[in-house]
């Protein structure tokens, strides 16, 4: 009996075992058998053989199903190519593939059927997808978002990962292993802004670019000395070095005659960029001349003058005994005080007074110096007439100028430093939470 074939459907049931090794590679083939006049054959079982060639006639046999039984209904039948004899994974690596069909003892039906685009999906093998241990892939893999825009490119040839802008397609970031490890990030114009290089075997390099694309800041581990860090001119000045010590100092080359009322001898002003300690020191020569009374000078460091002696912070110089007329005595005065201050500008003054009105007392060559320290490395003790708020203190008795005693409070300024840092950390945490909340709102 002579048969004629009519192909109605040819489709893929599953693409490749690289996607799932539990399901074979098969192509669903549907055809119709008719006699020489085009009438469908009787419903029955028939032996049919399928062969894939690399040419429309002659050529090389690439796959043979051998004779398989198909059952027709009104001439129609369906057979899964590869269901008995597996199809080779590389059988569709070339575009020229043709299917030949032989029924029973008849000759192969002619012409052969060219296998087009759908069957060629079977060419997706190890070089396209990776699923199992030992699998590999080659070439590039593109990843798209829900809008069909390519956002990530995994380049097997260049050894890199490229990430693109969602709307313009410009490269935003590149992670590369060629010729060594590097990370580059670009702005919204595609210009390189940050580059981190492994730099072969010479250590890492961090480069920051300016808006024009020129190298602006360079940190290179392969160099030493000043070449290790490259910064623009005037990149750092004293207001930007927030955690460096700083100093301010004033002096008066002349002598100042003291009175029985407190008066400013010399002042100093300092601006500190961040919270920290201010160590204020003052020195001068105290010269007392002859008198029938004691010739003492009292000196203290204060911020705001209130006209009274601070019994916790003063120094005495001169003679406690009367001096004969025409005689004088000079002694060195040194006094020091430590403050804990928040960032800002502060003025400190060296004040002085004499104890008796008939004596002559001079403060000569006074110098006052304020030094800023950003942090402490141990106890920083101080005292005041009022108990500090919120930190531990110890109550002590101090002697006054008139011989009486008063209660004062000694405490560690470092406790204030720790509390300030704790408050700063809480503020930073709150700022980060606020930023996250804003970003969440922007995404909605």
Going residue by residue through the chain, which has 444 residues, state the pLDDT in tens, using 9 for 90 and above: 555 555 444 443 333 333 344 444 788 888 888 888 888 999 999 999 999 999 999 999 999 999 999 999 998 999 999 999 998 877 877 778 899 999 998 889 888 888 875 544 444 444 445 555 666 666 778 888 877 788 888 887 777 888 888 777 788 888 888 778 888 888 888 788 898 888 767 778 888 888 888 888 888 887 777 667 877 776 665 555 556 889 999 999 888 999 999 999 999 999 998 889 999 999 999 988 866 677 789 999 999 888 888 888 889 988 777 776 667 788 899 999 999 999 999 999 999 998 887 778 899 999 999 999 988 888 888 877 777 777 777 887 766 655 667 777 787 888 888 887 788 788 888 888 888 777 767 656
Fold of domain 140-230: Outer Surface Protein A; domain 3 (3.90.930)
Residue-wise burial string across 122-154, b where 16 or more C-beta atoms lie within 10 A, e elsewhere: bbbbbbbeeeeeeeebeeeeeeeeeeeeebebb
Asked whether the bond before 320 is cis by omega within 30 degrees of 0, the reply is no
Could you tell me if 170 and 189 are in contact, meaning their C-beta atoms sit under 8 angstroms apart?
yes
| pTM greater than 0.75 (yes/no) | no
The pLDDT value given to residue 427: 86
Fold of the domain built from segment(s) 246-375: Jelly Rolls (2.60.120)
> Are 159 and 178 contacting, i.e. CB atoms less than 8 angstroms apart?
yes
Residue range(s) of every CATH 2.60.40 domain in the chain: 4-123
Distances (CA, A) of 212 to 10, 193, 208, 219: 58, 9, 11, 19
What pLDDT sits at residue 226?
67
Cα-based angle 355, 360, 361 (whole degrees, multiple of 5):
65
Cα 207 to Cα 192: distance, rounded to the nearest angstrom: 10
Rounded CA separation 186/167 (Å): 15
pLDDT at residue 357, rounded to an integer = 72
**What is the pLDDT, as a whole number, of residue 14?**
35
Q: What is the pLDDT of residue 134?
A: 63
Contact 75, 34 (CB under 8 A): yes
Q: Where in the chain is the domain with CATH 2.60.120.1340?
A: 246-375
**331 Cβ contact partners less than 8 Å away, ≥ 6 residues apart:** 285, 286, 317, 318
Distance separating alpha carbons of residues 127 and 357, to the nearest angstrom: 103
Query: CATH 3.90.930.1 occupies which residues in the chain?
Result: 140-230
- pLDDT value of residue 437: 79
- The highest-level CATH class for domain 4-123 is mainly beta
Reported as type and span, the H/E element at residue 162 is strand 160-164
State both tokens at 284.
Answer: 């001068």
**DSSP collapsed to 3 states, 218-264:** EEECCCCHHHHEECCCCCCCCCCCCCCCEEEEEECCCEEECCCCCEE
């Amino acid at each position: 009996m002579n048969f004629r074939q009519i192909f109605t459907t040819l489709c893929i049931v599953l693409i490749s075992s690289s996607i799932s090794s539990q399901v074979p590679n098969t192509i669903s083939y549907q055809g119709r058998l008719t006699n020489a006049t085009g009438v469908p054959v009787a419903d029955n079982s028939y032996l049919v053989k399928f062969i894939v060639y690399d040419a429309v006639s002659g050529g090389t046999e690439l796959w043979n199903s051998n004779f398989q039984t198909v059952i027709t209904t009104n001439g129609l039948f369906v057979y899964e190519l590869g269901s008995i004899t597996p199809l080779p994974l590389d059988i569709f690596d070339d575009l020229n593939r043709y299917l030949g069909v032989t029924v029973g003892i008849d000759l192969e039906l002619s012409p052969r059927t060219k296998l087009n685009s759908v069957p060629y999906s079977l060419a997706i093998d190890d070089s396209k997808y990776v699923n199992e241990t030992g699998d590999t892939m080659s070439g590039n893999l593109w990843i798209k978002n829900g809008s069909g825009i390519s956002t990530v490119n995994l380049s097997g040839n260049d050894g890199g990962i490229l990430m693109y802008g969602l709307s313009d397609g410009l490269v935003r970031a590149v992670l590369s292993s060629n010729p060594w490890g590097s990370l580059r990030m670009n702005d919204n114009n595609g210009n390189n802004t940050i580059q981190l290089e492994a730099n072969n075997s010479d250590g890492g390099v961090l480069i920051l670019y300016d808006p024009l694309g020129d190298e602006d800041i360079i940190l290179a581990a392969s160099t030493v000395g000043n070449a290790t860090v490259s910064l623009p001119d005037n990149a750092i000045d004293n207001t930007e070095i927030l955690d460096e010590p700083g100093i301010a100092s004033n002096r008066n080359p002349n002598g100042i005659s003291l009175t029985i009322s407190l008066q400013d001898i010399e002042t100093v002003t300092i601006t500190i960029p961040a919270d920290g300690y201010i160590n204020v020191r003052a020195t001068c020569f105290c010269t007392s001349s002859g008198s029938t009374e004691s010739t003492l000078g009292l000196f203290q460091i204060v911020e705001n003058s209130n006209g009274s002696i601070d019994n916790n912070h003063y120094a005495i110089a001169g003679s406690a005994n009367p001096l004969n007329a025409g005689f004088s005595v000079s002694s060195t005065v040194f006094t020091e005080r430590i403050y804990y201050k928040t960032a800002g500008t502060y003025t400190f003054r060296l004040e002085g007074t004499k104890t008796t009105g008939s004596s002559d007392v001079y403060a000569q060559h006074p110098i006052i110096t304020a030094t800023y320290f950003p942090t402490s490395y141990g106890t920083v003790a101080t005292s005041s007439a009022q108990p500090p708020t919120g930190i531990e203190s110890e109550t002590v008795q101090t002697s006054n100028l008139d011989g009486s005693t008063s209660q004062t409070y000694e405490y560690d300024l470092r406790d204030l430093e720790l509390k300030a840092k704790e408050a700063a950390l809480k503020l930073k945490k709150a700022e980060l939470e606020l930023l996250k909340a804003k970003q969440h709102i922007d995404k909605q």
